[in-house]
Amino acid sequence: MKTVGDKFSEKEEISTKAQWLVYFILLALLVITVGVAYIPLGQFNLIFAITVALIKAALVVWYFMHLRETQRLIGIFFGSSVFMLAVAALLTFTDYFTRS
């Protein structure tokens, strides 16, 4: 009979050291994102801010939320919600972008 502890023998876990490291990377990314916001880069400002936010979110999801220890299919579900949101926004924008 499997207990919860059995899952650890199957995959190597994320150490607390790794989690602290990720934390400091997240803080660094926060500083960078605020700093870059003050540099005039035109359209790129927005893209940069969103990219950094996505990286931070990915780090939290992977290292803090242990997504890789969860069943692959559940990760696909979560990813599909992000995908669906993106498509919804995109299709809505086809309306707003093409209005005269």
Q: What residues line the site for another protein (CB under 8 A)?
A: 1-8, 13, 16, 19-20, 23, 26-27, 30, 33-34, 37-41, 45, 49-50, 52-53, 56-57, 60-61, 63-66, 70-71, 73-75, 77-78, 80-82, 84-85, 87-89, 91-100
- For the record, the structure tokens of 86 come out as 């993106």
Looking at the Cβ atoms of 12 and 97, the one nearer to another protein is 97
**What's the closest the beta carbon of residue 71 comes to another protein, in angstroms?**
6
Nearby residues of 62 by Cβ (< 8 Å), 6 or more positions away: 68
| Distance (Å, whole) CA 86 – CA 42 | 23
Angle at 97 (CA atoms; ends 95, 99), nearest 5 degrees = 65
